[in-house]
Structures are given as structure tokens and as C-alpha cells.
Structure 1
Amino acid sequence: MRALRIFLRNPAALGGVLVLLTMVSMAALAGVLFPGDPLDMVGQPFLWPGADPAFPFGTDSLGRDVLAGIVHGARVSLLVGLAAASLSLLIGMLVGAVAGYFGHAADAVLSRLIELVQTVPSFLLVIVIVAIGSPSVTTIALAIGLASWPTVARLVRAEFRTLREADFVLAARSVGYRSSRIIVAEILPNALPPVIVTTSVMVASAILIESALSFLGMGDPNVVSWGSMIGAGREVLRSAWYLSALPGTAIILTVLALNLVGDALNDALNPRLRHD
């Protein structure tokens, strides 16, 4: 409860939460606000924002509604970000927990595996996986998750190495708790605060990676995302800069909000930084 009070007293955190709630609401209500296909040509091409009340954010080179694209793009970008971060957390926490708790041979093998994956640049690994598979939302989320888990694994491993000799863990061993129960019920809850903070950064990174893939033409061609909108607008950047600026602003606001929330969570959950 004290951590929650510290979080709620942070104006930047509340601003970040407000932006994230707006983006999540857009994604959830995309089908209600704009029931048609955002890739449909519905108006005159190159309508500037404000030129036609029917298209508040204007239209692109094919006459597609830019606002509809941004709203539907929120769904794709947030879905990829959350799915990729969830997969990274699952793999990273499993590998880090086993390596940190058991140590010895398990730690040596898994640490080498973590280092091996980290030797390959994450974005390059994502490109290779997407190129091998089909450029779909599922494949992109899977690729980002598989490339990002070592960060979580190293963090969880360090936390488990610190906590495995704590008094409450020794007490759990003395009463005969199995290793699986100690890991899940005793150590993991105490190792979660830094992982929660890292999660916000991972979601933001996943959104940026998906946007970069879509910008390069490696996104899902059957859906609209913020990155694909920026990529489509780069060819007319001088004459219709709003086509890239508007979805780019959505990315900036979302990533900034996630970082603000992450910083606030770090202040609230880190006992060394708590204040009255």
C-alpha cells in the first residue's frame, strides 16, 4: 500500500497512466469507433488534417482515413508489445530462476546460453526469424519475445542468487519445502519488483521494434500499424509530412508513457528510494 501511495503521488506516473489508458481504450474500441477496414479507400487522397470534418486527421495517398489507421494501429502495436513482453518474461524468469537458484552446472550452462543469445543483436535476430517465417503479427511478437528474454533472465538470476541464502529461504528448506515451491512461493514474489519495472521498458522496446520492422516493409501486410503508416508516408514526407508525423507522435507518446510509469514503479518498489 505504501508503494501504491508513492506511485499515486508522482505526477509523471499519473500522466503516463492517463496516456496508456487512452491508447488501450483506442485499441479496445477500434472496431466500434471505426467499424470498417482501416485499409479501405474512403476519401479523396491527400486531404490535410482539418480539411474535411469526416477525416479529422486527413487521408493518405490512397484515400485511407489516417485517424482510423492510428486507432486500429494502436491495437496491433500494443498487442505485439504485450505479447512479446509476456513471452520474454516467461522464458527469462524460467531460465533466470533455475540458473540463480540451483547454481553450479545449471548456472554455468544457462549463463552461457544467455551470453550466446546476447551476442546476436536483438533487431538482427528478429529480422532473421521474421524472414524465415511469415510476416504476421504472431510471428513478429514471437520473434521479439525470443530475442528479448536474456535481459529478464540476467535480472532474475541476479535476484535469485541474492535471495537463495536469505533467512526465509533457509527456513523453508528446513521444514522440507521442495525446490519448486521455494522458487515459486518464496523467492519469486520477492524478486518481482525489478522485473515489473523492466516489463514496462520491454513493452516499449517491443513496440519500437515492431514499428521498425513495419517501416522496413517486414510487417504484417494485412493489418495497419503505426510503423507501417510511417513507412507508407516516407515517400511523400516533404509534401504530406503529417502522414508520418501523426503515427510517429502516437509511438512517442506511448513509449514515453511506458518509461514514465517504469520510472515511477522503480521509485515506488525500490526500498532504497522510498520516501515519506
Structure 2
Amino acid sequence: MSRDHVAINRAVWDADAVNWTKAGRRLWASRAPVWGNWGRSETELKLLPTDMSGKDAVELGCGTGYVAAWMARRGATVTAIDVSSNQLAVARDLAKEHRIDIRFLEANAEHTGLPDASFDFAISEYGAAIWCPPEIWLREAWRLLRPGGKLVFLGNHPISLICSPLNGAPCDTLLHRPYAGMWGADWTEVEIDPSGVCFNLTVSGWIDLFGQIGFSIDSYQEIFAPDQAGGTRGSVPAEWAKIYPAEQIWHLEKPLQADA
């Protein structure tokens, strides 16, 4: 991928920010976290520590900032980073409305400029997890974490990408892209619902990269749509996502003996 994905994705999210305000407002108001396109419950998935008191946490690609709010309500001191000024404007307004203290930074999650070993916990839900090259943003997350720190991220499952037609139509049951050598997809010039440049790897590619960087894997989850789901979300039909994993969650740790 040689195009300037950062500039492309910033422009996409600046233009689309207004369309996420309603969802952001709803999720800020939710005391119980829900995750991904299908709103799976925190009780089921367990992305966040129950008690984050005394922890420094960072959200990499925060959008409207609702995940940051959930962490702050659990006691964390939170820094939330996004490349889109328009998304951050919504996040700051909602933080003020809910009277929650969060440090929002307009920055690229691949190169945050924050000090080494600043955080105990890092998270990305459809932020850096899909909009940044894994080999870059994961190394930045490693740098930001203290030894013993945790990283959790949620994004598209690679199966959903290889089953996505090249014109941008929703997932179907055919294989439209090669699995070997997967890097992601450029959605900027597709016929249906063009957007930005996203990134993904094969499952073994993710595991290999974690090992190269030094992360250990605590757990891995493949997420399906619930039985009662309907319609299409994020170009994934509910009926497809009930039988194929639409999303994945990685739970990683920076070992205690790791260099900062």
C-alpha cells in the first residue's frame, strides 16, 4: 500500500463525523459497554477490566470517545487519540456534557508523540485496529505500554474481507480476494459506499507479528451476530454474520520482563 492512507482516512472521517454523532451520543449514555457492529455485551466479551482505578489508559483511534468514557467511569485516567478533528470535536462536546475528564489528542495513532511506557492499558475498537498498518501501530502500542500492560483491539475478521465483493457490496458466501498475502483493502474508489483504506492480516499473520514485536496472546475471540440480529451493519449482513465470524478481538500483554 503506497497511498497516503493517513490523509485519506482523516478526510473520510472528517467528512463522515456528523453521521456518527447520534450513535456516539447513544453509546456515551450507555453505562454498560457494548461492542462492535452487533452490540455484543461487555458481560459476554470482557474487553475492559472491571476496576480500572489507578490505571493509565489510552484509546487509539477514539472516534466520538465512548470507549474512553467507559474506561473513565471505571476509574482510569484516560488519553484518547484520533486523527480526525471533527470526530474529536464531537467527543469533546460529549465529555463536557457528561462531565467526564478525558484528555483528547489530535494525533496519528501510528506515531502518537507520547512518552514511552506511559500506560497500563490500551484499546482500539475499529480505530487504529483497522485504519492503521498493523506493523506500525502495534509497535507504537508496545512502546506506549508499561511492562505487564494490556492491549485489546477489535476489528474486522479476515474472513469478512475475503468474502467482500470488489465493488464494495456487502459480504456474501463467495471468496472474492486471496487470503495469502492479505494486507487489507482500498475502499476509496469502489462503486458502492466508498470510504478509506483499511488493514487486516491472516490469523497466522497477526500471530507472527505479535511474536516479532514481543506481545503474548492472552486470548482470541471470533464474533458472530446474535440470533435476533437483522439487516446489514458495516457492509456485513446479519444472516452472513450468524454463520461466519464478522469480527475478531485480540487480548495481548506486554510481558513484565519486556523492555519499555
Q: Relative contact order (C-alpha < 8 Å, sep 6+): which is higher?
A: 1
- The TM-score with structure 2 as length reference comes to 0.26
The structure with the largest helix share of the pair is 1
- Higher-Rg member (1/2): 1
The structure with the largest strand share of the pair is 2
- The TM-score with structure 1 as length reference comes to 0.25
